[in-house]
A = this chain, B = another copy of it.
Amino acid sequence: MRYHTPSHRQEQARRMASRLARANSIVLTTHMNPDADGAGSAVALLVWLRDRGAEGWFVPPTPLPERYRFLLPEQDWHLSARSAAAARACAAADLVVVVDAGDLRRLGRVKPMVEGRPTVVIDHHTTPVRPIPGDRLVDTGACATAELVYDILMAAGARWTPAIDNALYTAIVDDTGSFAYSNVTPDTHLLAAELVQRGVDVVGIHRQLFESMDVRRLKLLRECLGELRAEDGLSWITVPDQAYRDLKATGDDLEGLVNYPRAIKGVEVAMLFRTTNEGATKVSFRSNGLVDVDGIARSFGGGGHAKAAGALVSRPLEEVRADVVNAARALVRE
């Protein structure tokens, strides 16, 4: 066994490679709240495109979180979507490359900036409600969009560099929870073997992704654990609003927090409740497999996937929590 682009996407990968290779002025973008797969896939393509002499910029719809900036070999290859430089780059682009997103609604403020420009989509998410128009390389069987980018770079005969290797490896590690999720296939590990062989910084990247906490975050975790509740098959945390403000915490500090109730033995559905700055209630749902949390999120006006979903409800937290917990209780007891 060694990694080969699966036969069903070889032709698409070749077409996408040659389409990208013909572009001279490129804008790469991804979904709002970019994650490591969005950022890593964009950076890997950007490094290759610039290496071959094209102009290119990464313009995510919302700010690139600090913890992914190490992926960029040059910080000024990344432009804030609010900047005049980003507007100019979009207006001049002969190709817009959207990675890790297939739905127009996920492009936020970048959507009007790139509308009508020649566009391609590289993604591993399920069928979008409002598809982004353009050529596509989409495969939900890929563990990460980075796997598809790997195929494109192979098809292109790209010159591999440490920046590309690290960006792809980071994307794969993050999107698979470090090889732990159900999207892991033999190909995931075969790709990782290639990247480790080429010298990616395994320890440094894991530390960057999962072990670069502020003390503030651990203080917030402590306060949140005080609000942990668990009953048969169900567990939830409420973020204490006062502590959140006192600690000057941000949404970033809450990342992964819902994994604590989820990790409790026997829990089928885990939830996280918090009050937003606007006074609405944000609910995150996680399922450990049997219960489809997309359904429950939808019944509260949200949505997502069967195993991870969310909802934003414009009612006070105590009220929403009571309703949601009741609904989840009914589901788990089914």
List A residues at the B interface (Cβ < 8 Å): 1-3, 173, 177-182, 184-190, 192-194, 196-197, 202-203, 206-207, 210-215, 218-219, 221-222, 225-226, 228, 230, 259-260, 262-265, 288-289
Closest to A209 in B: B180
Residue pair A207, B264 in contact (C-beta under 8 Å): no
Closest to A187 in B: B193
* Known A212-B263, A213-B265; 20 more pairs at CB < 8 Å: A1-B2, A1-B190, A1-B197, A177-B206, A178-B180, A179-B179, A179-B192, A181-B202, A181-B203, A186-B194, A189-B193, A189-B196, A193-B193, A211-B262, A215-B264, A218-B260, A219-B228, A221-B225, A222-B225, A222-B226
Closest to A259 in B: B211
Q: For residue A218, which residues in chain B have a CB less than 8 angstroms away from its CB?
A: 225, 228, 260, 264
Residue pair A210, B2 in contact (C-beta under 8 Å): no
Residue pair B190, A202 in contact (C-beta under 8 Å): no
Nearest chain B CB to A327 CB, angstrom units: 22
Contact of A180 (CB < 8 Å), options: B1, B206, B219: B206
Nearest chain B CB to A230 CB, angstrom units: 5
Contact of A194 (CB < 8 Å), options: B1, B192, B213: B1
Nearest chain B CB to A284 CB, angstrom units: 16
Residue pair B228, A225 in contact (C-beta under 8 Å): no
Q: For residue A259, which residues in chain B have a CB less than 8 angstroms away from its CB?
A: 211
Contact of A225 (CB < 8 Å), options: B173, B197, B219: B219
Residue pair A186, B197 in contact (C-beta under 8 Å): yes
- A/B interface sample: 28 pairs, CB < 8 A: A1-B194, A1-B197, A177-B206, A178-B180, A180-B206, A182-B202, A182-B203, A185-B196, A186-B196, A187-B193, A189-B193, A190-B190, A190-B193, A203-B289, A207-B288, A210-B263, A211-B262, A211-B263, A213-B263, A213-B264, A213-B265, A214-B265, A215-B228, A215-B264, A218-B260, A221-B225, A222-B225, A222-B226
Nearest chain B CB to A215 CB, angstrom units: 5
Nearest chain B CB to A261 CB, angstrom units: 8
Q: A1-B190, A222-B222, A228-B218 are in contact. Are A184 and B196 (CB under 8 A)?
A: yes
Q: For residue A184, which residues in chain B have a CB less than 8 angstroms away from its CB?
A: 196, 202
Residue pair A178, B181 in contact (C-beta under 8 Å): no
Q: Which of A179, A182, A221, A260 has the most chain B CB within a 10 Å cutoff?
A: A179
In the docked arrangement, what's the CA distance between A210 and B260, Å?
Answer: 11
Of all A-B residue pairs in the complex, the 3 with the closest CB atoms, nearest first, are: A189-B193, A222-B225, A211-B263
Closest to A191 in B: B189
Closest to A228 in B: B218
